[in-house]
Structures are given as C-alpha cells and as structure tokens.
Chain A
Amino acid sequence: DTGVSQNPRHKITKRGQNVTFRCDPISEHNRLYWYRQTLGQGPEFLTYFQNEAQLEKSRLLSDRFSAERPKGSFSTLEIQRTEQGDSAMYLCASSDGTSNTQYFGPGTRLTVL
C-alpha cells in the first residue's frame, strides 16, 4: 500500500503526559499537512510543511504542540502536557507539487483521560 500511513492508530494517555504521532506521506510527496478533527466537526488545519520547511501554522497550534519533518519525508506531531481538550482525531495528508490534491491517512485517535 503506498498511501499515507499514521502511527499509532489509537493513543490513550493521562492528562499531563506527552504524546508523539508519526505520519509517513505518499512517497515523493513534498507537501505534508496536519489536521485535527473533533467529534461532529470537519477537520481543522494545524500546520503545513513543504519538504522540511514548516511554512504555515494555525492559531490552533498552541505552544504545547510541535511538528517536525526533519528530512522532508516522515513527520512527527508532539503534544506536551496533554489536556482533555486535546482529545481528537489527528489527521495527516500529503500532496505533490503538480496536482496538489491532498490524500489523507487513517488518522490517530487521541483520548486524554
């Protein structure tokens, strides 16, 4: 399967703990996006990378959130000192520079107790 993959698929953590999610984009896609989706809502944009450069961050991305894409391939999203409000589905998408159509991974569902 050459689609976008995300790990883990599910994560349960206690409030105050740090969590890290990983996204592997479609091979050779130079653009990578993170979104967050809460129950009953559409996905909301968090941040965007072109190759290894983080080019845009949403105001939703508080100081407790950090994303990296060190070699322009996979990306990680870390949440420090998790809060119950961080409970959501975290989605990753990637696109190439030609069609720019974004393809999504299956998401990581985070539950903060």
Chain B
Amino acid sequence: DAKTTQPPSMDCAEGRAANLPCNHSTISGNEYVYWYRQIHSQGPQYIIHGLKNNETNEMASLIITEDRKSSTLILPHATLRDTAVYYCIVRLRLGTDKLIFGTGTRLQVFP
C-alpha cells in the first residue's frame, strides 16, 4: 500500500467546514483512498472512500486531485462531536489487504 502523509493536528470552529488534507504521491492506479476516524476510546469509524472521482455521503465529501497524488476530506459543518483522529489510508478495494494506519490528523473542533 502507498504511504500517506497527514498533518498531525488541526483546529476548526464549530459550524465551519473542516478540510483535512492527505498526500499519497505514490498511489497506484488501482488503489483507493479511504478515510476513517476514531473518537477517543472508540473503534475506528468508516467515513468514505473513492478512486478518482469526488465522492459525497451523509458524513463528508472526498475531493481527489486529478493526478490522485493528494486528497481532501471535507466535513461541511463541523460539530464538537467531530473531534477525533482522522486517518487517510490507500489500499486495494477488492484485495484482502489489511488497513495500514499512520498516526492521522487530530482534529479539534472548538465552540
């Protein structure tokens, strides 16, 4: 799996959009970008994934650059409950590959 680089921490005001970046410059053509988050003392929660097109679901939007070397997870209206560590992972979707987590980005949403 390609390695990812994320900033260690970010702050966001409640109600504003949180934009979490991820660099994955060595991603291969058949690898997807996955995002998970982990709220303190809980298991990781799946958020969204994508290959090359932008994706949106009820939780977030995922913007992948045209060259696929980076992506941004967008939480459109951050709430205090979005405070968590966010992990960006690249992997084969249909492979049996385990998830390889880095240290993620710690997002702190403040009132």
Contact = CB atoms under 8 A, between A and B. Distances in A.
Interface of A: 4, 31, 33, 35, 40-45, 48, 50, 55-56, 58, 89, 91, 93, 99-107, 109
Contacts, number: 57
Closest 3 interchain pairs by CB? A42-B101, A104-B43, A45-B98
7 contacts: A45-B98, A48-B96, A50-B96, A93-B99, A104-B43, A104-B45, A106-B42
Interface in B74-100: 85, 87, 93-96, 98-100
Given A91-B43, A91-B44, A107-B42, A102 B93 contact: no
Nearest to B99: A102
Contact of B101 (A40, A43, A100): A43
B93 A42 contact: no
A72 to B, nearest CB: 15
Contacts of A109: 41
